Structure 1
Amino acid sequence: MSPQMTQPSSGQSILEPVAPVIHNVFEPKTGTWQYIVADPTTAKAVIIDPVLDYDACTQNITSTSADALLALVEKQNYQVEMILETHAHADHLTSSSYLQKRLSSRQGYKPPIGIGKRIEQVQNLFGPRYGLAREEWTGVFDRLFDDDEVFTVGQLSIKAMHLPGHTPDHLGYLIGDNVFCGDSLFHADLGSARCDFPGGDALNLFQSGRKLLSLDDHVKIWPGHDYPPAGREPTAWMTVADQRQQNKHLRDQVTQDEFVKMRMERDEGLNAPKLLHQSLQINIRAGRLPKVEESGHRLLRLPLNLNGLDW
């Protein structure tokens, strides 16, 4: 496909925006939407929020989900220019580092892993909490995006939107008439994400939601997760207009005070994500595995809940 040309008054030709090709791949165990977004004119692409498979019962890590993304990239003959994280996930392990290594050998080019610049706040909090050496998380991300930073992949223009609330480092990626919003908004029947993690904030989450819903009505919002109720299939996107009318937490009629009250009360009754500690220890390392201990094992640290007991 050739890019369309327009002729401005200066007489110089410029390229019109190109609509991206979007592949949405659902990982059902953690309810995660993974995305490959490509420029159809150059076949250059990004991968957003990829999953590394992990079984908490057996401690087995496998790469089935990540390998499926690699197979799709190869089938479409894409050149992956970047791997993007919306935030440090607390409910699944990222396969960014795994994909980076595999893509480097295939493409002869190491695609950088990008995330918002406030990831350092999250790393500085959770690294010491889990007893990790500073070198294990320092400098592991290749690109730290500023708020509203714009960068290009092929002929696609991508804007990093700061969307705090769920986590302080949270970004969305605006690509054409699409925004990949991570865990800011979900399907309208689910509403919004929790904001009770350290650095989370209900007021910030409301403001981030309103920021998303101030985009043009036709813009598609692609969430980071879906947990469909019985009778509904996983849904990858809804328009801004539909979210404004239907989102159970953030439709137009909901006030700021109502949202903050609802979100705080709701979060108080939620259990911690099942993979909270495992996910954070891997994800603040950009998906790199723990170092090999003297025993020959790679270890994760899990805190015990003693429920008031002590001896």
Structure 2
Amino acid sequence: MTAGNRSQFSPDTFQLMGIPGLERLHVWIGIPFCSMYVVAVVGNVTILAVVRAERSLHEPMFLFLCMLSVTDLVLSTSTLPRMLCLFWLGARDIAFDACLAQMFFIHSFTAMESGFFLAMAIDCYVAICEPLRHATILTHGRIAKMGALVVLRGVAFFCPHPILLRQLPYCRTRVIAHTYCEFMAVVKLAFVDTGATKQYSLSVASVIGSCDGFFIAFSYVLILRAVFRLPSREASLKALGTCGSHVCVILVFYSTAVFTFLTHRFGHSVAPQVHIVIANMYLLIPPFLNPIVYGIRTKKIREHVLSSLKINCS
């Protein structure tokens, strides 16, 4: 293929369709989406500010929570503002390079989110099952290495995605049947056979998700076994309440992600609007819930936020 012929198959822009069949409701759908985004930004920024300001919170749990908050901010900001422009302003066009960049941020930071959930599960396990060795096992150096490993994994596995899509010719419709540039939605527009490209993406997602999910589940099984052995009933109930809220957030993240994955692979009969709404949920709900579950329900953070509010009001 010559350079001249190649250029005509490389689009300058794509068009985002939004949620097929629900176009008339886009304005109303944008309201709860915007509300969740505002809560996610305010909540995660608050967590970062509180932990940074209070040295007593420079512990493994809160350091991992800060990593999760940064991931949530990037993940939600890479999708929500552009999605609201589509819903409220009808701005459907997105530049090809911007589309590839958005796709990379979405998939790589979703993998990082999964990795930080695993890191926090490991921290919870060590804190409950090995409380006397917690500080010596999870030193600041090891925490930094765990965080760097999670970030490098997300970047390394999903950096090929935009590179692969840039090489493909596009001469079909340039309308993406989605609210954002999701890999499988974009690759369907290519002119050539993309079986190997799809298989790579699905394999990477399945390996990362299944490995993280298995070790998270294994960690919480050990945690629950240790909790039920605690001599104090009050301590057991408190630990169960904390673990239960954490598990709920993780289940929301993984259940919606698994549904989206299985829909791409097997669920061709699933209505497009159902698929796209749930695909949005696993990008919107965790950044919205994480500050509430890990922040407000955490006593130390809650006390520091309330004390700051009292000082400002006085």
TM-score grouping bracket, smaller chain normalisation: under 0.3
More strand per residue: 1
More helix per residue: 2
TM-score by length of 2: 0.23
Larger radius of gyration: 2
Comparing both chains, which one has the higher relative contact order based on Cα–Cα distances under 8 Å and sequence gaps of 6 or more?
Answer: 2
